[in-house]
Structures are given as structure tokens and as C-alpha cells.
Amino acid sequence: MEYRWRYQDAQGRDVAGPDVMFADQADAEEWFNAEWRDLLDAGVEQVTLLRSETEVYGPMSLHPA
């Protein structure tokens, strides 16, 4: 199973983002930790981690709490 991120705006609508697949959850999270600021700058407001098409967790805001 592959992991990927779903990118959304503040209203939960899907928006374009990098189409990157990961072999495992740790790789996906490591990539996200390095890229979240660039995603926010590009208009992504929240993300959901998917394993195939199943939600692992999210949506998670990119704005610091």
C-alpha cells in the first residue's frame, strides 16, 4: 500500500499539490515535515494522510496552533 497526502483549502475543498507517493507512513511524514511551509505558501490550508484511498488521519491544519 502506498501513502500520499490530500491537499485542501480552509473550506475542505481539494486543491492541487505535489503528487508524491511514499512506501510507508514514516516517509510521508518526514517529507511533510520538510515541506509544510511551502505547501502553506502555495495555498494549501490543511492535509489528510491517505493509505491508498483510506484516511489515516486528518484533516490537519498547516497553521501553527
Instruction: Give me the tens of pLDDT residue by residue for the chain, a chain 65 residues long.
Output: 899 999 999 999 999 999 999 999 999 999 999 999 999 999 999 999 999 999 999 999 999 87
Whether 56 maps to a domain, the answer reads no
Which range of residues forms the domain containing residue 34?
3-48
Give the integer Cα–Cα distance in Å for 42 and 54: 25
Give the predicted TM-score (pTM) of the model.
0.93
Whether 61 maps to a domain, the answer reads no
- The C-alpha angle 13, 19, 27, rounded to 5 degrees, equals 110
* Structural domains counted in the chain: 1
Question: In angstroms, what CA-CA distances link 46 with 1, 53, 56?
Answer: 23, 17, 14
Whether 57 maps to a domain, the answer reads no
- Three-state SS for 52? coil
